[in-house]
């Protein structure tokens, strides 16, 4: 998906370019980079809508400064359109009121790792005080299993990516979890919405997220890290009597992310990762976040590994997975280049096929035309002339002597053609006189050349002239025409036979 990013520029066309920030997916760092790159006042001051609040409706009780950051009404949503850029925890339906889907970007994260990060973040002391009396964060101070079992927290812990893309869908009620029967349908519809966006990146793909969002907003973003859980005040530790991980907690993690897991796998597949690479990457990311969580809340990674039974050596596997991901990205870039070349070549082949088909139709039309058929005898004579010239050149190497002393075969052959042509011209000039009967004289002159090929050509030429002269002599398709043609053809054949005999004897004597 990263490769689909379209370069637009913030606010292009009078509508804002937007960043849909999914909680705990690196969005605060991206928002901070956008604010720096776009300048003061370019990004809308509102940061939230109702999609990320769990069972809370008393927004008027919030501090005034906090309330001003929340979009609740239609007019407040439309007011976002006054700014070149919008970035925050907004659902897709809210952003679509002021922007095209192609001008909206988002970044996703491995769903189970994201949910564990949210749990750790909400355990940071005082993290939710600015939201009082809305204190959903206090639900995270208990065991992970209880945190994942609370239906009132569904907007934040139950397939939150799908909920933000399809906010308002009755199958995604704010006080209950997604039903098993709806998982596939919701995932398909959410993927369809995800594919409409201008850019969708994965937090774990590193620089490609920054580059893709930068292209969409038309700025260069400097990667930075903001609001990383545990970087400042650490989360509240797990009590000695509590148990961080259990089979029930791990099973609940899978249930609360089963739709988002399909969306994340789709994003990785669009980025070019194969099914095995996607599976290894997601498991390693999840395991790495488990290790980090246990370190943050006061348990050692070794203890967590002992509880879960599958965490030893996961940091090394994670590094190996990252290296494999980098190699895959390089192969994907080469594959994209090869696909572009193939597409260009296919276009060229189609273009040349089209031109070839046009030429073939034109040639067929020429061959079917009356002019082409009527000039067939002339083309045959031309081919004969060319062939005779070639043969005459070959004969020249063996001598050019004719049966008439003092004259070469070539001179007599040319004389015969000239005689036939002069007779034809005279016939045309003398309107009431028919001279076709004199054409055999040319064949006789050709026979004196002692060359069978040249004499045959003269005979063909005289016969062609006899056919053509039948028109001005007004004997076409008559008994007289047949007699004249028979006489000319017979004279040509006899002259050719005589020349052939003379040529054979001369070569035998030599």
pLDDT at position 59, please? 94
CATH 3.40.50 is held by the domain 2-227+244-272: yes
pLDDT tens figures, 278-304: 888 888 888 888 887 777 776 544 454
Q: What are the residue ranges of CATH 3.40.50 in the chain?
A: 2-227+244-272
Helix, strand, coil % in the chain, rounded to nearest 5: 65, 5, 30
Residue given tokens 């005999």 in the structure block: 501
Nearest to 134, CA basis, from 199, 79, 67: 67
pLDDT at position 169, please? 95
pLDDT at position 240, please? 60
Q: Check pLDDT > 70 for residue 2.
A: no
pLDDT at position 183, please? 96
Task: Write down the mean pLDDT value for the chain.
Answer: 82
pLDDT at position 196, please? 96
Across 186-202, average pLDDT = 95
When mean pLDDT is compared across 210-214, 344-348, 482-486, the lowest value belongs to 344-348
Which residues, at least 6 apart from 156, have a Cβ–Cβ distance to it below 8 Å? Answer: 23, 52, 54, 118, 136
Maximum CA pair distance of the chain? 134
pLDDT at position 14, please? 80
Which residues, at least 6 apart from 276, have a Cβ–Cβ distance to it below 8 Å? Answer: none
Task: Categorize the per-residue pLDDT at 10 as very low, low, confident or very high, splitting at 50, 70 and 90.
Answer: low
pLDDT tens figures, 392-401: 554 554 456 6
Please report the DSSP string for 414-449 in residue order.
HHHHHHHHHHHHHHHHSTT---GGGTHHHHHHHHTT
Main-chain dihedrals φ then ψ at residue 435, nearest 5 degrees: -110, 10
pLDDT tens figures, 303-332: 544 555 544 455 556 566 667 776 776 677
pLDDT at position 312, please? 45
C-alpha–C-alpha distance, residues 137 and 147, integer Å: 10
Q: Check pLDDT > 80 for residue 41.
A: yes
pLDDT at position 405, please? 57
Q: Check pLDDT > 70 for residue 174.
A: yes
Total Cβ atoms within 10 A of residue 322: 14
Q: What is the dihedral of CA 404, 407, 413, 417, to 10 degrees?
A: -100
pLDDT at position 476, please? 81
pLDDT at position 310, please? 47
| Alpha helices, DSSP H, located in 203-274 | 207-217, 247-256, 258-270
Q: Which two tokens stand for residue 166?
A: 């399809």
Nearest to 92, CA basis, from 172, 157, 38, 153: 172
pLDDT at position 223, please? 81
Q: Which residue has the higher pLDDT, 224 or 219?
A: 219
Which residues, at least 6 apart from 340, have a Cβ–Cβ distance to it below 8 Å? Answer: none
Q: Give the side-chain half-sphere CA count within 13 A for 264.
A: 28
Task: Categorize the per-residue pLDDT at 70 as very low, low, confident or very high, splitting at 50, 70 and 90.
Answer: very high
pLDDT tens figures, 96-154: 999 999 999 999 999 999 999 999 999 988 888 999 999 999 998 888 999 999 999 99
Q: Check pLDDT > 80 for residue 163.
A: yes
Q: Check pLDDT > 80 for residue 53.
A: yes
When mean pLDDT is compared across 58-67, 124-133, 187-196, 353-362, the lowest value belongs to 353-362
pLDDT at position 300, please? 45
Task: Categorize the per-residue pLDDT at 360 as very low, low, confident or very high, splitting at 50, 70 and 90.
Answer: confident
């Amino acid at each position: 998906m990263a490769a689909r990013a379209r370069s637009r520029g913030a606010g292009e066309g009078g509508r804002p370019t937007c960043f849909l920030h999914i909680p705990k997916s690196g969005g605060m760092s991206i928002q901070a980079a956008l604010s720096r790159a776009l300048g003061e006042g370019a990004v809308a001051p509102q940061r939230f809508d109702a999609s990320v609040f769990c069972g809370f409706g008393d927004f008027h009780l919030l501090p005034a400064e906090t309330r001003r950051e929340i979009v609740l009404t239609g007019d407040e949503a439309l007011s976002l359109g006054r700014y070149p850029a919008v970035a925050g925890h907004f659902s897709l339906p809210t952003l679509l009121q002021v922007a095209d889907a192609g001008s909206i970007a988002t970044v996703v994260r491995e769903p189970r790792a994201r949910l564990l990060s949210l749990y750790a973040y909400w355990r940071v002391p005082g993290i939710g005080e600015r939201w009082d009396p809305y204190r959903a964060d206090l639900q995270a101070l208990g065991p992970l299993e209880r945190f994942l079992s609370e239906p009132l927290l569904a907007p934040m812990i139950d397939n939150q990516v799908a909920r933000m893309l399809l906010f308002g869908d009755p199958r995604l009620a704010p006080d209950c979890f997604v039903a098993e029967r709806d998982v596939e349908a919701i995932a398909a519809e959410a993927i369809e919405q995800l594919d409409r966006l201008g850019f969708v990146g994965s937090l774990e793909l590193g620089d490609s997220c920054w580059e893709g969002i930068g292209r969409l907003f038309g700025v260069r973003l400097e990667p930075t890290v903001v609001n990383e859980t545990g970087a400042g005040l650490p989360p509240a530790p797990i009590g000695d009597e509590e148990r961080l991980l259990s089979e029930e907690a791990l099973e609940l993690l899978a249930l609360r992310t089963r739709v988002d897991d399909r969306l994340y796998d789709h994003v990785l597949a669009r980025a070019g990762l194969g099914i095995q690479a996607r599976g290894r990457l997601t498991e390693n990311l999840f395991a790495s976040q488990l290790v980090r969580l246990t370190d943050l809340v006061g348990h050692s990674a070794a203890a967590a590994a002992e509880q879960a039974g599958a965490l030893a050596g996961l940091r090394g596997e994670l590094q190996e997975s990252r290296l494999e991901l980098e190699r895959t990205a390089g192969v994907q870039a080469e594959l994209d280049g090869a696909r572009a070349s193939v597409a260009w070549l296919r276009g060229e082949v189609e273009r040349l096929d089209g031109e070839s088909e046009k030429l073939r139709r034109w040639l067929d039309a020429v061959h079917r035309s009356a002019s082409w058929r009527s000039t067939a005898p002339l083309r045959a004579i031309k081919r004969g002339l060319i062939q005779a010239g070639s043969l005459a050149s070959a004969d020249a190497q063996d001598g050019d002597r004719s049966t008439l002393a003092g004259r070469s075969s070539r001179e007599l052959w040319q004389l015969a053609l000239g005689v036939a042509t002069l007779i034809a011209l005279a016939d045309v000039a003398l309107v009431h006189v028919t001279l076709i009967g004199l054409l055999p004289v040319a064949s006789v002159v050709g026979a004196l050349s002692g060359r069978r090929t040249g004499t045959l050509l003269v005979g063909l030429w005289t016969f062609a002239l006899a056919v053509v002269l039948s028109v001005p002599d007004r004997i076409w398709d008559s008994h007289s025409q047949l007699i004249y043609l028979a006489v000319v053809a017979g004279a040509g054949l006899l002259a050719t036979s005589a020349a052939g005999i003379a040529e054979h004897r001369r070569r035998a004597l030599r």
